[in-house]
Structures are given as structure tokens and as C-alpha cells.
Structure 1
Amino acid sequence: MDETATADAGDAPAEGATPGGPDGGDPVVVGEGVRKSYGDVDALDGVDLDVAAGEVFGLIGPNGAGKTTLVRALTGTTEAEGGLRVFGEPPREVDPSRIGLLPQSFDPPARLTARELVDYYGGLYDAARDTEAVLDDVGMADDADAWYETLSGGQRRRTCVATAVVNDPDLLFLDEPTTGIDPAGRRAIHRLIERLAADGTTVFLTSHAMDEVERLADRVAMLRDGRVVASGAPDRLVTEHGGAPRLDAATAAPTTEGVVEAVAAGVRDRLGTDPTVEATDDGLRVWGVRPEAIGDAVDALDDAGVAFDSLSWSEPSLEDVYLRLTGEEYARRGDGGPPDEAAGEGRRAADDATPGGGRAADDATPDGGDR
């Protein structure tokens, strides 16, 4: 594991990013020394962060790292120690109509249609977006009259996203918004997030899909063991922690130590650098090969007599940063740790604060709910 991960890289804003937003205004979300414990386990252990107006802020980390607990603290659905401010106020004092919330787990009434659900949640506010427009935004216009219980997992999640944005929030919390959604549905949600941010909505996004965060987020914070271990713009994190580009060769024959040494010598001669070459399950990998040097690296393979079936070259990504800073094998802290990422925690969050910050759907049944 990269020891630099333990440095508080997240304490400083990313280069080119101004705390509080481009106009230098106050941040929309502020956390200072946020702490939350479940018994002897620290779910949050002194988290510091700020989120600017109109920013898409990504929060990533392993299961049990504290992501959902932090979202709950910032939305006022759980108590936490430390300084917490949303629009300059304690989270529980913020006008609910300004907040949109999609919990990790949310179970609305199953015998309502998608349209009825969005209508209902929109009806909780003095001003709400047009239901049909919201359903179209999330790709549910063609299935709007299907009961929630008959929808696929991805369709249900898209409907839940719709209920979280129907109030046109100033600040939108999305906890794993595209879980179970097919590629077309994911693109629809991504376009919606991009459009909301362009119109000034601040988006606080947690996701295990690193490509999603890398595409959408202006800045990213990584949690591990309840602490921010790195933060900044995605490209900055990739540069600092992602490692070197790599060339992978899938070989028919097993890669021996002699082959690795021969390839390393050939790459050294041709590229003028001291490469890292290693055997993999499928063949071998050459680290540090820039795009313009791929041909020379392939020649080095030929010189070493390496017969390969296929080649692939890749640059480091946010996923590489994630794996480097968290470890590929991550053990949850303690036995029976905090219910942070568990389904029960998500259900509790859904009970305490429904999408948009409104009242719980189960407290009132809209028309058609008794079918």
C-alpha cells in the first residue's frame, strides 16, 4: 500500500479549486472534525471537508469506511460530533425543500406506479418540478404506469432518483444512485447530474463505480477507517496515487523469471529507462510505458522471444487510486462494526429523511395506494 495514503492530502483544496466555489462564496457543505462512534468503533474519526456551490463532490471508500454515516450526519438524520454546516446552518435546521436525498436503501410503497410515487413526493412541496419531465429525465417515461413492485431493480432505482429530484433541490445527496441500473439508464442519470450541476445544484455523490465518479465529480474525497486519506480533483489524485501506465501481454506459455529479466533488459535498452516488468496470471506486465513507446516495448517482447496472443495498454484511473489507497483486500473494522453501510442503516435513513427531505411516504397513502 502506498504510505502516502496516510497523509492528509485532503486537507488542501485541489489545485485550481477555490473553497466555497469559483466566486469565493461560502461553501454549501462544511464538515470540521466530524466524529461518530458505534460502540467502540469509530465510524467517522475527524472528517474535514467542504463542498462548493454547484460542485459535484464525490465520496468514495470501501464498505464500512463511513460514507453513509457521513451522509446521514450531513442530512441531519443522525447525530455526530464536530462542526457540521449546510447552507451555513446545522443540518437539522435547513429548509427540507432545499435538500434532495436518495439513501442507499429506500423502499417506497410497492403498489404505486412510478408516476404516482413522483406525484406524491412532489406534492410534499409548495413548488415541484413537473412529474412527466422528471420521469423523462431518469428514463422512466415509458414505464411510468407500472407498479413499483413490478419494476426491475434498475427501474426502481431510477424511480427513486426521480423522487429525490422532483423538488428541484439546491443540494442533492445521492448515495449509490446507479446501483443495479443498466448502461442506458446510467447514462440518463449521469446526464441528469451533469445538467443539474450546470444549473447550479450542488451534488454530493457516493459511489463504488469509480468510472462514474471520475466522469462526474469535480473533486473527490476518499474515506478509509472513518478518515479522509486523500482528496482533490480526480486527475490530480490519479497523477499522485494512480501509478504508471502499463502494457499487458497475454501469453500462451507461462512467464518464467528468465523471460521477465529478458524483457526488462530489452525495454531498458530500447526505452532508456529502468522498467518494472512482472509476471501476471495471463502473461506479463510492463509498467511505465508511455503511448509513444508502445512500439519499442513490443519490439523488446519480440527480442526476448515472447509470443503473445494479445496486448492491452492502459493509463491509471481513479480505480487504481482506490485500490492503491485502500488495498485490494479490505477487512471491515472490527467484528460486527457500525451499521454504516448495511441495509438496515439505509432503511433507517429512508425512514428518517425521505428523498427531498420530505415526510415519510408510509405516513400517508396517495391515491391508488390501497390497490
Structure 2
Amino acid sequence: MGRQPGWSRPYDGDMPRHIDQDVHSAFVEFRNGSEPKCMSVQCLYCNQTRAKNTTRQKQHLLQCAPYLAAHPEVALQASAAADEAAAAGSSSEPQHGHPDASQYPNPNPPPGEHTNLGFMPNPRINGTPNQMPGHGGRASIGAPDGTPAAKRQKTKNSNLPEIPLREVHAAFAEFKAKDDDKCMSARCLHCNQVRAKNTSRQREHLMVCPGYQSVLKEKIPANNLRHQFDEDDVASSLALPTPSLTLDFRMSIRVKPKLSIGTANFGRESWISCVGGQWAGRFGKGILLPGGQDKQTMVKDMATRIDASYLLQTNDEQPALITCKVKGWWTGDRDVMERLQDPVAADNVAAHRYLFRVVIELETGDERYADVNTGLWVGSGCRRGAEIVYDAHRVS
């Protein structure tokens, strides 16, 4: 189809960004009865019809008064670009202004009169002449009870996670607005807005739906604490991954009797030396070399601070050496803690009667075990006579 008489680009330069975004949603497509092989389009803002052509549709929007009234930022961009082109003297084509209205059908034909392309606007999609949509999306579908859908909003920047497809489907109830409709409509179960069924648009809606947003924020563990961040604080909308724990290795450490150093600034200090031991786990096994030290500081109610360093050796033909640092607390009822100070009595105290919780870090210069350098472990321990046993759970 050739260029229509009197039509030219409004200005030389790039189209405003909103034009590129809105060109497809600003027109409804249909097949012209006289030319069934060609698609035609009708502007949802002024009801003008034309052959389907993306470039010409963009040009039309730049001169469509209802569209420009609804998008003042586009009008400003187009005006500024035209002024720049005129100032630079780059307008080599004659400017013809708006196309002759006689080329297009009457946007508001009398009752019973069809447009010259044989297309009658569908009130369910286009609305009545006095109810044409004034925004950049397709016309909203009203609810069966007459409640119109809200204007389409662009998705706001959000720190909330992307909504899974199954949750998008679960958040909407599908139905046919009319019995003879070929397309399904969808009602948001959180705000009752109704729109045409479209997964992408439904997901966009949920990202700005106040009802769904409140439900989504409640799923963030940090928002269910006793004290919370303010509603508008970015930390209240951050969904962070929850660490998982995997049992990675166990250490059994043989120790000498405890040496009491005496009362220092923070409590009563003791020194416990390692005489050996063994370890085994997912990434290897081996022994603990003699010489490791465990400094313990006992504070109020016999709660004890653990600060220990050990040296692990692997069972490889050429062994690797791995340093192991253990820090944590040993706490429990006073009578239980008193029994644990006696190596013989400690054998009769079940591990669940007290808390022996530690953080473990490993470090090595051997490339075969370099992965441990960036790992972090939390562990639980127990005292058994002259041995201390730790289970190390890797945080992932």
C-alpha cells in the first residue's frame, strides 16, 4: 500500500520512548472485509482507522490529539525535537500538518452508519464514543457487575521477587465476560479488578496491586519478626535466600586435663591442649595433629566462651594441612555445667541437656582443598570424658 497523500514524519529523529512502547496497545486490529488478506487497525484514542503499519501508527500517535493529551511527556518530546530540527535547518521535506480528515472515516458516525472500511467499533473493547480510553494500554474490560478495571500501570521498580507463574494463575479467577466471547477475562482475587487474560499483564498488575503486595511482603520472614522495618523502607521489601545446612564433617578431639589460668578481665580462663584426634566428612578424612589449643573463658552462671585452633591433616599420599578455628559458647543450667567440668561425670550428661554451639572456619594453601577457604560451618559439640566431639554443618 503506498504512502497516503499529505502524510509525512512529524520531525526527523528518534521516536519518543513512549511511542515505541504504546504503539501496539494503542490500536485494535481487525480484518477489513473488502481486503481480507490485509489487517487494519483502529486507534483507541480517536477511532481513526488505517492499514496496519507500525511506522505509520507511530506517526499517527504523534499527531493524535487525544493520545497527546493523555501523554504530555510525548507531546513535549515531539515539540522539542521539531524545534531542534527547525533550528538546525534540517527540515528538507515540506511539513503538511495533520492528514486530511477526509481520508479517514467519521470517528463518531451516526447510528447505523459504518466506516468506509466496513468496521464498527466494538463497545466492549473500544467503549462508547464518550468513554474511549485515555491511557496507553488496551481498553480495560469491565467486571460483570459494572466495576471497571483500573488503568494499566507500568510496573514499578521493586525489590520483591519475580512472581512465579503458578502464583499468577492462582491470583486470578478466569471467566467469560459474555457467553459468546472467544477470549477469557480474569479477575484479580486481591483487588477485584478485571482485565483481559494475559499472563504478562497479570504479572505486571500484581507487582502494583496493593492487596497482593501486602500478601507478598508477609511471606518475607524478616517482616514477621517482633520488631520490623517501616513499610516504606527498602529492607521491608527484600526477599533474601534462606541459608541451608548440610552435615559436612565430624571431629573427635582428644585433650589433656584443663589448666586453670585464673580470673582475667572477662572471666575465669582455662587452657586445654589437644593431643590428637581424627576427622571425617564429605570432602575427605584424616587426623588432628597434636598441639592444638582451646582457650575457655567462664563467665556468669558458668557459661563458657570457646576459642580454639586445631590443625587437620588429610589421609592423602601427600597430605594436605588445614587449619581449623572454632569459636562459640557452651551454656546450660548451672548444675549441668558443674557436672561437665568433671570428665567422668560428663559421660553421663546427655548432649541435649546443654547448648554447645560453635562457628567453624577452615583454611588451607593446598589447591586440592581450596574450596574450604570460602566455606562457613556452624556446629554442635559435646564432652565425652577426655574427648570433645563436633559435628560441622556447612552453610550454603
Task: Calculate the TM-score normalised by the size of structure 2.
Answer: 0.20
Which gives a bigger RCO, structure 1 or 2 (Cα 8 Å, sep 6+)? 1
From the CA coordinates, give the structure whose radius of gyration is larger: 2
Task: Calculate the TM-score normalised by the size of structure 1.
Answer: 0.21
